Amino acid sequence: MAVVFSRACEYALRGLIVMAKAKDREVWRVPDVAEESNSPAPFLAKTFQQLVKGGILNSSKGRRGGFSFARPIDEIFLIDIVNILDGQRLTYDCALGMPDCHDENPCPFHVHWRRIRQPLIDALSEESLAQMAKK
Amino acid sequence: MAVVFSRACEYALRGLIVMAKAKDREVWRVPDVAEESNSPAPFLAKTFQQLVKGGILNSSKGRRGGFSFARPIDEIFLIDIVNILDGQRLTYDCALGMPDCHDENPCPFHVHWRRIRQPLIDALSEESLAQMAKK
DNA sequence: ACAAAAAAAGACAAAAGTATCTAAAAGTCC
DNA sequence: GGACTTTTAGATACTTTTGTCTTTTTTTGT
Ligand code: SF4
Ligand code: SF4
């Protein structure tokens, strides 16, 4: 088990940060992103396809093809990426794994998880790839 | 992938909360805990064995045997359970999955993860099973 | 002593997640 | 048009986690 994000999400975040940091370069081939972000290229390629479907990336085939951002990077927030790759797991699901329990008649742990999850959601929602690239 | 804890940890937390809530009962058989916490009994048994090794639970075999707390439940904190079952993953490892990188020359995400992880560690460190049982 | 009950230990099975490989489709450049 | 490059799609393999099953060991109660 990874720490908080799935491996796919970890690789994607690392890769997208690399891409966002390179102001001069627009289009990236998967092998280049993979090398720069220390990710396995074939696996990263799969997750980039998901990000294309999710509207984060554009892709183009052929000689000068590759992946590029589908919109300005100050309009791409970390939560967008996490939502596409890891779903609502981190932002909605019960931390104790109960399938059909939310808010009504909460168990003792509920209030804690709420207090922890909300700042996480806030941070992911407020931070854009553009801001990540600056630091 | 579970939300933040492994399944083993989810089941353990749920089970221990059930046990802590029952002030009248000291010794619990695994099948009873499993039923009360909606966990698979054989799997829960395995994780309880880990908690015995970790010093959280005592176990006794035979007719009136079962599991009981190894120390007062106001001295058992959630972080103790998480540390035994999930290791340092949540409290120390890099959220982006980089193996050998901590604090020195941090990447753009580092500061965010620190700001999120610390409240999590604090909450888990401050909350005891006794407090969990009250609510 | 004996039978029953419980945890302990280990083997095993199933599922999910991660990673690689191959062939196909589409675009670029000459 | 043809060679080449890149994504896309699908198949496949590996690994880890999760879950089950069986046997053994220990204790209790009769
Ligand atoms: S009340 Fe407890 S079991 Fe229900 S969603 Fe909240 S943490 Fe999960
Ligand atoms: S600096 Fe970035 S890569 Fe390094 S431990 Fe922190 S979050 Fe992980």
Q: Does domain B7-133 have CATH number 1.10.10.10?
A: yes
Asked if B129 and B17 touch (Cβ cutoff 8 Å), the reply is yes
Q: Which residues lie near nucleic chain C, judged by CB under 7 A?
A: A 2, 6-8, 11, 40-43, 46, 60-65; B 1, 28-31, 42, 45-46, 48-49, 52, 59-63, 65-67
pTM: 0.95
CB contact under 8 A, B119 and A123: no
Q: What is the pLDDT of residue A103?
A: 77
Question: Residue B56 belongs to what H/E stretch?
Answer: none
Q: How many angstroms from the chain centroid is the CA of residue A128? A: 11
Distance B68 CA to ligand 1 centre (A): 24
CB contact under 8 A, A109 and B11: no
Looking at CA atoms only, how far is residue A23 from chain B in angstroms?
Answer: 16
**In terms of Cα–Cα distance, which of A28, A114, A41, A6 is closest to B119?**
A114
Residues facing residue B57 across a β-bridge: B69
Q: What is the pLDDT of residue B98?
A: 92
Low-confidence ranges of chain A (pLDDT < 50): none
Domain boundaries, chain A: 7-133
Note the pLDDT tens digit of each residue in B7-25.
999 999 999 999 999 999 9
Question: B81: buried, middle or exposed (CB in 10 Å: 19+, 13-18, 0-12)?
Answer: buried
**In terms of Cα–Cα distance, which of A5, A107, A108, A3 is closest to B82?**
A3
